[in-house]
Amino acid sequence: MTAQNVTHVVVRLPLTDAQIQKIKEVASEIAENDFRFHHHFTAACDDLARAIGTPVEACGLETAAWGLEGDMQPGRSFIAWPRPPCSIDAWNIALVRRADAEAQIAVLRAENARLISERNRIAQETREACARICEQQRDDFADPQYAGGEMGAFQERFACAECAAAIRSAGEKA
């Protein structure tokens, strides 16, 4: 997605210092171009949101109605129209059906759980492969070429065994 074709962004609050700095930079650019600010206010606001937001793909939910921006306050009812009753910019809150949103959230949660499970499986396989490498190295140190007597390569074998045990126990802690 290029900056100009991003249609959805998420801005997490509170803003970071870097985001605030970026807002100042974009706002300064907008202020320098007075004509653009007064005649293309919505585009200027879009630029600000794109500057600090994380681009996200459209959710695919159908807009069920439109709300008036100033009416959207917690605990208060508001008017929603299937289509904005006029072309003013204030009718810019797209509303979706709760059941549709909950269904999509359930699908995303299931996908997230699947991905977490897959990540954990891969991590476990990786830990096990690393532990086997340590054990192989421990066995290699038992070879007579490393052994210089009864205690030959004991420290190396011990260290390899401890590494294998630590790698395996890391999965139990995760």
Taking only the tens place, the pLDDT of each residue in 113-153 is 999 999 999 999 999 999 999 999 888 887 777 666 555 67
Per-residue burial over 40-76, b = 16 or more CB atoms within 10 Å of its CB, e = otherwise: eeeebebbeebbbbeeeeeeeeeeebbbbeeeeeeee
User: pLDDT grade, residue 101 (50/70/90)?
Assistant: confident
84: preceding bond cis by omega (within 30 degrees): no
Separation between Cα atoms, residue 5 and residue 101, nearest integer Å: 24
Query: Which stretch of 17-21, 78-82, 103-107, 152-156 has the lowest confidence by average pLDDT?
Result: 78-82
Compute how many other C-beta atoms are within 10 angstroms of the C-beta atom of residue 134. 19
Gap between the Cα atoms of 45 and 13, Å rounded: 17
Task: Name the pLDDT band for 87 (thresholds 50, 70, 90).
Answer: low
List pLDDT tens digits, range 42-61. Answer: 666 777 777 777 776 666 77
The enclosing H or E element of 93 equals strand 93-95
User: pLDDT: is 27 or 113 the higher one?
Assistant: 113
Instruction: Give the integer Cα–Cα distance in Å for 132 and 134.
Output: 5
Confidence of residue 1 (pLDDT cuts 50, 70, 90): very low
Query: Cα separation of 21 and 59, whole Å?
Result: 29
For residues 82 and 64, give the distance between their C-alpha atoms in angstroms, rounded to a whole number: 6
